[in-house]
Amino acid sequence: MSETIKRAHNFNAGPAGLPLEVMLQAQSELLDYKGTGMSIIEMSHRSKEFEAMINEAEADMRELLNIPANYKVMFMQGGASLQFAMVPMNLRPAGASADYIVTGVWSKKAVQEAQKLGPVHVAADLKASNYNAAPENLDLDPNAAYLYYCSNETIHGVEFFQEPVAPAGVPLICDTSSDFMSRPLDVSKYAYLYAGAQKNVGPAGVVIGILREDMLERVPANLPVMLDYKVQADEKSLYNTPPCFSIYMVGLVMKWIKKMGGLAGIEARNTAKANLIYNAIDNSGGFYKGHAQPAARSRMNVTFRLPSEELEDTFAKEAKKLNMIGLKGHRSVGGLRASIYNAVELSDLEVLVGFMKEFQQKNG
Ligand SMILES: *Cc1c(COP(=O)(O)O)cnc(C)c1O
């Protein structure tokens, strides 16, 4: 039956495409999960089947990312956006200031939330260059509660390939929502990192948080339970009903990443995909212009412009007719954006790049 299903060339920014193999497995297990006669979304989150599933998802993630034993893995709700508030609530002691690097929309939103709850110091803000690079210079507070940054700005298409270096003793915190598990990552450099699943590793509804245990000492005693990392960690993400289906899907994606050669294999695949489209942009004689400076070009979200907004509109519309979906840039930045997360195939990029050449010939 699957051969007759027409799948889109899915360049959506999030929620985004998932591997076909993963979707087919979810479909095949939807009515009867491992002989239980129930779906994974119809059973107790306290059942032994569910517990085995969530434990395996975590174990596979730990293996793939080589997560050290002194880190907790949490599956939470509220999206990455709730983390903007939970990070300062849990990890910035009362009265202390936290450092933030602002490289685009998402780190800016994190600052705005953190500011509502206490002092923030902006270590860099790349607004003047319309968020097209990672910062070269940081104004760092050696006494900051932590240094926060976003490793991939999904809307501007700017990625850090080297994490910022925090002053000695200042914990590093990262929103890695849109490049999580797209390449190897040295978890031991971070005190906390988190990612919403719906870009690279699953459907919306679950956020993965990876927290170094000593940071739990900072968590104040009086937080509402659902906003408390200590509760989430102590209860192994099962304080209340977790987003069962989303966690299950993340587990399937972990198995798929393993089959793809782990994070090194995924990175090689993602690099090849990104090179294909950036080369097309660079070889277009200026017809296509990349937004991000070459050193900071995201391998996940490729942002680019055409000579006019009208052409950008036409491009997105004609592409859509050819089943290429999601190419219009975010409303706050404009232009075009191809999100090419883990599940996007090289063949999808080949179709897109072929179309880019044709479009230029017709309109250039
Ligand atoms: C998508 C995204 C968010 C917001 O995620 P929600 O789950 O919608 O709250 C935050 N940060 C980054 C980097 C993102 O890509």
pLDDT of residue 342: 98
Predicted confidence band of residue 95 (pLDDT cuts 50, 70, 90) = very high
Shared domain for 344 and 243, answered yes or no, is no
Shared domain for 240 and 348, answered yes or no, is no
Structural domain includes residue 8? no
CATH number at residue 121: 3.40.640.10
Q: Which of 234, 259, 284 marks a domain boundary?
A: 259
pLDDT of residue 3: 61
Predicted confidence band of residue 215 (pLDDT cuts 50, 70, 90) = very high
Shared domain for 215 and 323, answered yes or no, is no
Answer yes or no: is the C-beta of 178 below 6 A from any ligand 1 atom. Answer: yes
CA trace torsion 341, 347, 350, 352 (10° rounding): -60
Angle among Cα 43, 45, 47 to the nearest 5 degrees reads 70
Answer yes or no: is the C-beta of 119 below 6 A from any ligand 1 atom. Answer: no
Answer yes or no: is the C-beta of 199 below 6 A from any ligand 1 atom. Answer: yes
Q: Which of 259, 274, 292 marks a domain boundary?
A: 259
The alpha carbon of 231 and the centre of ligand 1 are apart by a number of angstroms equal to 23
The alpha carbon of 79 and the centre of ligand 1 are apart by a number of angstroms equal to 7
Task: With beta carbons less than 8 A apart as the criterion, state whether 172 and 126 touch.
Answer: no
**Confidence check: pLDDT of 332 > 80:** no
Q: Which of 259, 276, 291 marks a domain boundary?
A: 259
Shared domain for 156 and 32, answered yes or no, is yes
Do strands 207-212 and 192-196 pair parallel, antiparallel, or not at all (unpaired)?
A: antiparallel
For the CA of 198, the closest atom of ligand 1 is 7
Owning domain of residue 344: 261-363
Number of structural domains (the chain) is 2
User: What is the strand order of the sheet 289-290 is part of?
Assistant: 289-290, 301-305, 336-339
Shared domain for 59 and 88, answered yes or no, is yes
Structural domain includes residue 307? yes
**Confidence check: pLDDT of 2 > 80:** no
pLDDT of residue 289: 96
Shared domain for 280 and 211, answered yes or no, is no
Structural domain includes residue 7? no
Structural domain includes residue 296? yes
Structural domain includes residue 158? yes
Shared domain for 293 and 197, answered yes or no, is no
Answer yes or no: is the C-beta of 81 below 6 A from any ligand 1 atom. Answer: yes
| Cβ atoms < 10 Å from Cβ of 41 | 12
Structural domain includes residue 9? no
Answer yes or no: is the C-beta of 92 below 6 A from any ligand 1 atom. Answer: no
**Confidence check: pLDDT of 334 > 90:** no
CATH number at residue 290: 3.90.1150.10
What pLDDT, in 10s, does the model give residues 299-329? 999 999 999 999 999 999 999 999 999 999 9
| Side chain identity, residue 153 | E
pLDDT of residue 214: 98
What pLDDT, in 10s, does the model give residues 105-132? 999 999 999 999 999 999 999 999 999 9
The alpha carbon of 12 and the centre of ligand 1 are apart by a number of angstroms equal to 13
Shared domain for 111 and 198, answered yes or no, is yes
**Confidence check: pLDDT of 195 > 70:** yes
Give the E-state strand segments of the chain in sequence order.
Answer: 9-10, 71-76, 98-102, 120-125, 147-150, 152-153, 158-159, 172-175, 192-196, 207-212, 289-290, 301-305, 324-325, 336-339
Contacts of 362 (CB under 8 A, 6+ apart): none
Token pair 């956020």 is at which residue? 207
Structural domain includes residue 6? no
Shared domain for 160 and 86, answered yes or no, is yes
Shared domain for 81 and 100, answered yes or no, is yes
Shared domain for 96 and 218, answered yes or no, is yes
Q: How many Cα atoms occupy the beta-carbon half-sphere of 147 within 13 Å? A: 22
Structural domain includes residue 1? no
The alpha carbon of 67 and the centre of ligand 1 are apart by a number of angstroms equal to 22
Answer yes or no: is the C-beta of 79 below 6 A from any ligand 1 atom. Answer: yes
Do strands 172-175 and 192-196 pair parallel, antiparallel, or not at all (unpaired)?
A: parallel
Take atom 5 of ligand 1 and give the residue whose Cα is closest.
80
Catalytic residues: 106, 175, 199
Predicted confidence band of residue 4 (pLDDT cuts 50, 70, 90) = confident
Shared domain for 255 and 297, answered yes or no, is no
